[in-house]
Structure 1
Amino acid sequence: MQVLIVNESKHSVPRKFVNEWMEDITAELKKRKVLKAAQASRELTLVFLDKKPAQKINFEFRGKDYATDVLSFDSMDPSSFGELVLCPEVLKRQAKEHKLTYQQELGYMLLHGVLHLLGYDHETNEKDAREMFGLQDAVFEKLLKKVSR
């Protein structure tokens, strides 16, 4: 997957980590037959925003008046996989709450966003939530083991 990073936040983005993590996500989801080769060859845009603009977008598209960790947007462009909007401030806070590093939390939310772009949804019902989070946690654990070697 080609990754385009747009950083409009005041926080630095660990670009090397993001690119390597996305390669690992792509490989693992292809291996699990969740991601097709044609999808994996498309471009994914990652946009990093500060809290206020992230809150505005969350309100505009979801009716939720707070900054959230990740938002996913499908694309009409057939060469694009979609777009993920991430808020580093929220990710840093959640990393502390989850006892993860910032990069681990970022990796988890990148995976979460990619699964949304593949059609997984945890907000529809309990069965869909179990399916999405089961896959997400299994892939995340596998990727964490690979990174810690």
Structure 2
Amino acid sequence: MNLEIINDEQLIPTARETWIDQLVDYAAKKLDLPDDTEMSISLITDEKIREINREYRQKDRVTDVISFAIEDGEDDDLPNFEELAEELDIPRNIGDLFIAPNHVAEQAKEYDHSFDREFGYTVVHGFLHLNGYDHIEPEDEKVMIKLQEEILDGYGLKR
């Protein structure tokens, strides 16, 4: 997995970036993604994620993670990026996550989880969204949550 982590404001220690990279790599292997699959994670302030949430989701509030999947299937005029990447023999880019670590820390306290568990949950949850998983319909939610828990438990981030 080729993961770019953007942590310009040092919202988490640089050493934690390796942990994030390893977690995403573990999740990618669980989904059997090609090793050269690409994505990014931007670690941003609560104010910035609120701004993005307001602009792109019309929700004027802070959230933990926002995912922008390249292959979200909403625009039928776009090519099938997975097929195109294979045809052109280039890495497949699944999209971008924006995560607000300070909000994740607040949620960890609220839910009585460790920061690692809550941050790992946030990363994996967003990662699954980038890979087409959703939880709008109850049947889809069961699939996504089960896979999410398998990844977190397997990585050692049990409740």
TM-score by length of 2: 0.77
RMSD: 2.1
**Higher alpha-carbon Rg:** 2
**% identical equivalent positions:** 28
Pairwise CA distance, 1:103: 2.1
Query: Gapped runs of 5+ residues in structure 1?
Result: 31-35
1:32-69 Cα deviation digits (max 9, x unpaired):
xxxx32xx422211101101110010111111111111
Task: Name the structure, 1 or 2, with higher relative contact order (CA <8 Å, separation 6+).
Answer: 2
The yes-or-no answer on 1:71 pairing with 2:66 is yes
Pairwise CA distance, 1:131: 1.5
Q: Distance in 2 between matches of 1:134 and 1:75?
A: 24
Query: Gapped runs of 5+ residues in structure 2?
Result: 72-80, 86-90
Q: 4+ runs of 1 displaced by more than 4 Å?
A: none
Of 129, 132, 157, which residue of structure 2 is paired with 1:116?
A: 129
Of 19, 22, 33, which residue of structure 2 is paired with 1:20?
A: 22
Pairwise CA distance, 1:11: 1.7
Q: Distance in 1 between matches of 2:12 and 2:123?
A: 16
Equivalent position SS for 1:120: coil
Asked if the contact 1:74/1:83 (under 8 Å) is kept, the reply is yes
Normalized per residue, the structure richer in helix is 1
Aligned to 2:40: 45
TM-score by length of 1: 0.82
- The aligned runs of 1:1-149 (5 Å cut-off) are 1-9=1-9, 11-13=11-13, 14-30=16-32, 36-37=33-34, 40-75=35-70, 78=85, 79=91, 80-122=93-135, 124-144=136-156
User: Between Structure 1 and Structure 2, how many residues are aligned?
Assistant: 138
Asked if the contact 2:54/2:61 (under 8 Å) is kept, the reply is yes
